[in-house]
Structure 1
Amino acid sequence: MTPTARLAASIDLLAAMKAAPRKPADAIANNFFRERRYVGGGDRRAISSLVWDVMRGWRRLTWWIEQGGLKATPRMLVGARLLFDATPMTNLAAMYAEGRFAAGALIGREQACLSALVGKTLDDPAMPRAVRLEVPDWLLPRLEETFGENLEEELHALSTPAPLDLRVNILRATRAEVRTALSREGFHAEETSLSPWGLRLEERLPIMGSVPFKDGRVEIQDEGSQLVAAMTGAGPNMRVLDYCAGAGGKTLAMAMMMENRGHVVACDVSEPRLEGAVKRLRRAGVHNVERHLLSAGDKWAKRRAGSFDRVLVDAPCSGTGTWRRNPDARVRTTQIDLEELLEKQAAILDTASALVRPGGRLIYATCSLLKAENTDQVNQFLARHPDFRLVAAESDALPASLRHESMISLTPARHGTDGFFAAVMERAAPEA
């Protein structure tokens, strides 16, 4: 594709995302490129990179464009982003060409607004703090509550592109063996410092085409997510429940920890997500997992009350910890969304806790950075359920720095992972 065609495609993709603000950007991008199979891999990466850069700077770019008296349309946002990335104005103006695979020429006011940005930097002292830090106004106080004086460092880390983390499936190979196999195919990975199963590539590469991925020796999974699975302490011959399993990333990790022995049940309210786990389970050689679709009026949970050694609740949440990968969530999530999520998390915890056997453990996890979704939610649960108490994870799969913690909060700035929270609670055993 020519630079003109790439720019036009970037504007079209951004417009599609703006037209569907409740739909995740990555899902929209997947559909966009599926409908345009003529777009090659290199062009897809270039277009996606530009669009994701726009989303990482959405509030600041919008502020600058509005200073110029215009609305922040996709064509203006893309143009401003390219200027701040040091594209000369003459080159940019030439890219806005007429034609079938072009975005159309800049009109007078557009040209004037973009020209005024030449020589400027994306950050400006006149910006409100929430704009400069790329967070919604309503969310800034909650993040200040979480991070205090470290807020700017943490939000800067959340604005950088995430590395590509892999989890080695030790049912099929060692970490060293997989690292060597990937290296033969040109993928140079380093061992993660916290997860004993992790490998990290510093940039996103087409790993799904590699032999180790195809034969189930590795899965794509952030190091923080691997540590959440490790917090469960799942082991051979246990009965384990992944209550909000989705497509089964943590299910796979726990089955691996259990050495394919015992029994794992992966539950979710979404049939497509559960169906998506089938191929992954087969590829990984996992055969101790049963899937169950949760539905209204389902008696399944009632019949299995008090029967699981471990219950993992990876709860639906605001996703603030995943902003490196999903920068669109910065502007999609509303205060009403958060309030609804808090109610849903509490209800899920209450329901899932009944499935834990006496002496068993409930592990609550989110990919959120917010106190309301994390420690507050745990403390409120414990107040409602005095038969549960916080206990240290004490899993051999955890690094020494986390092994004796009952609650962990991982962040990109401090740990190099996505933002994750996990708490381990044990149900009291009956008195002898």
Structure 2
Amino acid sequence: MTSRPTDSPRRAVYEILQRVADGAFADVMLDTTLSRSKLEPRDRRLVTELVYGVLRLQGRIDFALTHFCNQPLQRLQPEVLWLLRLGAYQLLELDRVPAHAAVNSTVELARELHLEQAVGFINGVLRSLDRGKAGIPWPAPEKIKLYLQHVCSQPIWLSKEVMRQLPNVDARAFGESLASPPPLTLRVNSLKTDREAFLIALTEAGHQGHPSDFAPEGVTLDRRGEDPLPGDADGWYQVQDEASILIAHLLDAHPGQKILDACAAPGGKTTHLAALTENQAEILALDKYSRRVEMIELGAKRLGCPSVVAKQCDLTEPADFLEPQSFDRILLDAPCSGLGVLRRNPEGRWNKSAVNLKELAVLQRQILENVAPLVRVGGKLLYSVCTFSHGETDVIVDEFLADHPEFELEHLGRQVSQDWADLFTPKGTLRSYPHRHGNMDAFFAARLQRRP
């Protein structure tokens, strides 16, 4: 009987990769597939690792395959190329999978998918790769552009962007971090418990974790046990990268204020603002799509945040239902390229381009122009993005300030702990990098105050 994606881990991986190649999001496809599967926990973890690993290291895998394939990869049938990538990832990156198992399972999957004409080819390429992988001529770190492209698995446009932002040594370290799996970080929900109590409960449940380096509510998991994390149903925590956790702190929100989260879904920063203000602020969370508004509402309910009201709103147009200068604080976590979270959304390497960055910058400036009039005199607006590209960060802020003298840039370091000093640029904006700052994602933030 032919196996199905629900009961064969590698078949599930192949199906997900095919869907991602057609434009689907890897995390969505993983959640959908695994929620319907009958796979054992061990196989579910394998599926997750293979999907993210193949996508994250696709460039490295392709470089290796070119040395053992007698025809250009771009000429291969797409289904055959994805099978080769799946087998090659296991041979190159997974020591715990025996070589014969990696090759044989890929060949059997080809047969299962009725690709009999390619079975011999796939078998030959993968066996050659296994025999010759020690001799692959990987580019030396000093050849930074080729190193980023073929070892760190970055397309050319992304390598150029990284090299524009950072000196070579930093660019290499940053590229290596983007090619590595990200940590699993949680924000402890201070409305329900505290970090010390959560860490104790975590250990008692068979997991291991430690306090994150910067965020006072952050916990990084070192090892995950077989049992569920403690307090999931009770809203003790929110899965959230440490850089993302920092953002709500930087808004400088207080109880009694009126706060707008302009592009709020999925709601992690929204509910963090509710926790920081002890549910004593009036928080309006907006998002363009109704299903994402529902996501915010569900998260607010789970985490115990009745101060959050979520509404659908497309902020590419002025929000006429809101009074001008009516908010004390506005968080604009703008739609962006997501280059800072490529470890978590690795398909972004392959489905974006430099052209997309320019288009997104136009969108970001448009939304910023539409929310800025809502900041009251003396109020503050925090612009944040999970990317590092110059055009989506400093350029947006500098151009906005040039056109709006009624706003001024505040130095973020003056309001938070001195322990965070390394996170801020001389201008006072936040720039976090995984290779510099405790393995957190690459984020940018700038706080603008309407002059009194």
**Is the pair's TM-score, using the shorter chain for normalization, greater than 0.5?**
yes
Task: Say which structure, 1 or 2, has more relative contact order (CA 8 Å, 6+ apart).
Answer: 1
Matching residue of 2:239: 220
Identify the range of structure 1 (110-119 vs 297-306) with the bigger mean alpha-carbon deviation. Answer: 297-306
Mapping 1:25-424, distance limit 5 Å:
25-34=26-35, 36-67=36-67, 68=69, 69=71, 70=73, 71=76, 73-85=81-93, 86=95, 89-96=99-106, 98=108, 102=112, 107-118=119-130, 119-121=132-134, 124-125=138-139, 128-129=146-147, 130-149=149-168, 150-203=170-223, 209-295=228-314, 300-301=319-320, 303-393=322-412, 394-396=414-416, 399-401=419-421, 406-415=428-437, 416-424=439-447
Deviation at residue 303 of structure 1 after TM alignment: 3.5
Distance (whole Å) between structure 2 residues aligned to residue 167 and residue 381 of structure 1: 32
SS at 1:354 equivalent: helix
SS at 1:338 equivalent: helix
Among all aligned residue pairs of Structure 1 and Structure 2, give the percentage whose two residues are the same amino acid. 29
Identify the range of structure 1 (156-165 vs 5-14) with the bigger mean alpha-carbon deviation. Answer: 5-14
Matching residue of 2:17: 14
Deviation at residue 397 of structure 1 after TM alignment: 6.7
Query: Against the structure 1 CA distance between its residues 32 and 173, is the aligned structure 2 distance closer, same or farther, given a 3 Å change threshold?
Result: closer
SS at 2:166 equivalent: helix
Q: How far does the alpha carbon of each residue in 1:162-197 deviate from its partner, in whole angstroms, 9 at most, with x for none?
A: 111111111222211111122211122211110011
Query: Against the structure 1 CA distance between its residues 358 and 39, is the aligned structure 2 distance closer, same or farther, given a 3 Å change threshold?
Result: same
Deviation at residue 361 of structure 1 after TM alignment: 0.6
Query: Against the structure 1 CA distance between its residues 96 and 213, is the aligned structure 2 distance closer, same or farther, given a 3 Å change threshold?
Result: closer
Q: How far does the alpha carbon of each residue in 1:267-319 deviate from its partner, in whole angstroms, 9 at most, with x for none?
A: 11111111011222112221111112114897744642101111110011110
Deviation at residue 339 of structure 1 after TM alignment: 1.6
Deviation at residue 402 of structure 1 after TM alignment: 6.1
Distance (whole Å) between structure 1 residues aligned to residue 27 and residue 241 of structure 2: 16
Query: Against the structure 1 CA distance between its residues 215 and 99, is the aligned structure 2 distance closer, same or farther, given a 3 Å change threshold?
Result: closer
**Structure-1-length-normalised TM-score:** 0.90
Contact 1:240–1:311 (Cα < 8 Å) also in 2: yes
Distance (whole Å) between structure 1 residues aligned to residue 180 and residue 379 of structure 2: 39
For 1:162, give the aligned amino acid.
P
Deviation at residue 12 of structure 1 after TM alignment: 2.5
Distance (whole Å) between structure 1 residues aligned to residue 297 and residue 8 of structure 2: 38
Query: Against the structure 1 CA distance between its residues 403 and 155, is the aligned structure 2 distance closer, same or farther, given a 3 Å change threshold?
Result: closer
Deviation at residue 152 of structure 1 after TM alignment: 0.7
Deviation at residue 116 of structure 1 after TM alignment: 2.5
What is the RMSD of the two structures over their aligned residues, measured on CA atoms?
Answer: 2.7
SS at 2:330 equivalent: strand
Distance (whole Å) between structure 2 residues aligned to residue 401 and residue 125 of structure 1: 35
Distance (whole Å) between structure 1 residues aligned to residue 111 and residue 259 of structure 2: 53
Distance (whole Å) between structure 1 residues aligned to residue 317 and residue 12 of structure 2: 46
Distance (whole Å) between structure 2 residues aligned to residue 343 and residue 410 of structure 1: 23
Contact 2:188–2:219 (Cα < 8 Å) also in 1: yes
Identify the range of structure 1 (151-160 vs 169-178) with the bigger mean alpha-carbon deviation. Answer: 169-178
SS at 2:337 equivalent: coil
Deviation at residue 90 of structure 1 after TM alignment: 3.6
For 2:189, give the aligned amino acid.
N
Corresponding pairs, count: 424
Contact 2:184–2:239 (Cα < 8 Å) also in 1: yes
For 2:128, give the aligned amino acid.
A
Distance (whole Å) between structure 1 residues aligned to residue 445 and residue 316 of structure 2: 29
Contact 1:123–1:132 (Cα < 8 Å) also in 2: no
Distance (whole Å) between structure 2 residues aligned to residue 167 and residue 147 of structure 1: 30
Distance (whole Å) between structure 2 residues aligned to residue 225 and residue 267 of structure 1: 18
**Structure-2-length-normalised TM-score:** 0.86
Identify the range of structure 1 (167-176 vs 6-15) with the bigger mean alpha-carbon deviation. Answer: 6-15
Contact 1:164–1:204 (Cα < 8 Å) also in 2: no
SS at 1:134 equivalent: coil
Deviation at residue 238 of structure 1 after TM alignment: 0.9
Distance (whole Å) between structure 2 residues aligned to residue 334 and residue 241 of structure 1: 31
Distance (whole Å) between structure 1 residues aligned to residue 87 and residue 16 of structure 2: 14
SS at 1:357 equivalent: strand
Q: Which runs of 5+ in 1 are unaligned?
A: none
Identify the range of structure 1 (413-422 vs 195-204) with the bigger mean alpha-carbon deviation. Answer: 195-204
Q: Which runs of 5+ in 2 are unaligned?
A: none
Query: Against the structure 1 CA distance between its residues 399 and 82, is the aligned structure 2 distance closer, same or farther, given a 3 Å change threshold?
Result: same
Q: How far does the alpha carbon of each residue in 1:233-280 deviate from its partner, in whole angstroms, 9 at most, with x for none?
A: 111111111001012110011111111102011011111111011222
Distance (whole Å) between structure 2 residues aligned to residue 333 and residue 273 of structure 1: 23
Distance (whole Å) between structure 1 residues aligned to residue 242 and residue 30 of structure 2: 24
Query: Against the structure 1 CA distance between its residues 137 and 357, is the aligned structure 2 distance closer, same or farther, given a 3 Å change threshold?
Result: same
